[in-house]
Amino acid sequence: MQMIKSILLVDDETLFHLVFDDACNILNISLSLESVSSADAAEVLFKKYVNDPTDKPECVFVDLNIVGSSFDGIELVRRINFQYGNGVVIGIISSSCDQIEMAKAELAGAQFWIVKSDDIEPRLEQFRDDYDGYKNRTGIFKVYK
Amino acid sequence: MIKFSKEDVEKLIKLAIDNKIFIEGPILKMIDTDDDSLFETYVKDAIENDQENRRKRLEITKQIQTQNTQLTDNAKENGRLMQELKGAVEKAQEAKENALNDLDVVQRKSQFKLIDRIVTVALWIIMGVGIITTVLYAIALFNSTIDTTLLGSTWSNLFGILLTNSFSIIGTIMGVKYASEASPKKINNE
């Protein structure tokens, strides 16, 4: 199983950036991780990747409710998938377990939904094991609770 | 993969032995040790060191996250309590104002009642004095032995004064009655 080359985390909670970075490193999930705090900042990056995909991440984790953004995580997933060209493994990472939101996210093109909690590592481990399926688009939408 | 020169490898190993300083971060996962067993051990130790540091940091960050969540919850609860307290203070203030208004009305009413009573008593006294003097004058008139010239002018003056005073007192009574009936309404309207 290969490590993910680069991950982009979109989450307004800066402390979670640290948690996610350390957890990914300890679990050997990724080689590099970039974090942004708003959906708008992530959109700017993806606009840039349309012309220059050099630094385009391999996988994107998006928070559901990104405080300080002009749109939510599901809308960002939709824009990345349908507006800025697909090509990344993308999903939601949120403390919410709302079934309606999950259905919306799936419709927007999210491939997974990871429920945030203090004990995030086991879920990330499961995600790591399923990652190849997401990458070659054979894996179905899955919720990691 | 990243390859290091023999010199750099020696420097890194020396730094680790002398000062316990290791390379950290994702770069460790990309180092090609070139089958150098000493460097392999160094990289293994560096990875262990890095992971141990990250585990500690992860634990601390999670604790801070939990505390932050608790602080946020506490702040919300404080806000709610403050709002409740504010509402209670406003209600108490309103009740106090109402009580003061009621007290004012009660005080005014008792004052008006007192004035009303004084004025009524005074009117009765005037009427009594008038009746008594009239009766005395009538007796003197029917009794031909008494000279009524002086008594007549005195009765006339006294009756004039009594009539003037009694109208003045009746006016006062009407005024007091009007005030005692109109005041509470006026206060309530305010």
Query: For the segment A63-73, what is each residue's pLDDT rounded down to a tens digit?
Result: 999 999 999 99
The confidence score (pLDDT) of residue B190 equals 47
With an 8 Å Cβ cutoff, is A96 touching chain B? no
Least confident of A11-20, B124-133, B168-177: B168-177
The confidence score (pLDDT) of residue A1 equals 64
CA distance B110 to B21: 92
Nearest neighbour of B54 by CB, restricted to A16, A25, A32:
A25
Please compute the mean of the pLDDT values over residues B46-66 and round it to a whole number. Answer: 91
How does DSSP assign B117-166, residue by residue?
A: HHHHHHHHHHHHHHHHHHHHHHHHHHSTTS--HHHHHHHHHHHHHHHHHH
Cα–Cα nearest to B2, from B25, B17, B14: B25
To test the contact with chain B by mutation, choose from A26, A34, A116, A117 the residue with the greatest count of B C-beta atoms within 10 A, namely A26
Q: Kindly report, residue by residue over B136-171, the tens digit of the pLDDT.
A: 888 888 887 777 777 788 888 888 888 888 788 788
CA angle in degrees (0–180, nearest 5) for B176-B182-B186: 135
DSSP-based three-state secondary structure for A142: strand
With an 8 Å Cβ cutoff, is B86 touching chain A? no
Q: Kindly report, residue by residue over A21-41, the tens digit of the pLDDT.
A: 999 989 989 888 999 999 999
**Closest chain B CA to residue A29:** B26
**Quick check: ipTM above 0.85?**
no
How far away is chain B from the Cα of A15, in angstroms, using its nearest Cα? 7
Hey, what domains does chain A have and what are their CATH numbers?
4-138 (3.40.50.2300)
How does DSSP assign A32-86, residue by residue?
A: EEEEES-HHHHHHHHHHHHH-GGG--SEEEE-SS-TT-SS-HHHHHHHHHHTS--
Please compute the mean of the pLDDT values over residues B72-80 and round it to a whole number. Answer: 96
- Count of domains observed in chain B: 1
Cβ contact, residue pair A16, B54, below 8 Å: no
Q: Does residue B184 surpass a pLDDT of 70? A: no
